[in-house]
Amino acid sequence: MARYQTIVATLAVRVPVNATGDLVTAGARIVERVATVERVDDATVRGLEPGLNDTTVTLETRLVLVGDRGEDLAVVRRELNEGVGVTVQEVATVEVDVELEAEADLEADAEEEVDMQVVPRA
Is-above-0.75 flag for pTM? no
Predicted confidence (pLDDT) at residue 90 exceeds the cutoff of 70:
yes
Q: How far apart are CA 22 and CA 8, in angstroms?
A: 21
Q: What's the confidence (pLDDT) of residue 77?
A: 87
Give the DSSP H or E segment for 64. strand 54-67
Neighbouring-strand partners of residue 39? 64
Return the C-alpha torsion angle 35, 39, 44, 46, nearest 10. Answer: -20
Contacts of 45 (CB under 8 A, 6+ apart): 23, 24, 27, 57, 58, 59
Q: What's the confidence (pLDDT) of residue 5?
A: 82
Q: How far apart are CA 101 and CA 2, in angstroms?
A: 6
What's the whole-number mean pLDDT along residues 37-42?
A: 91
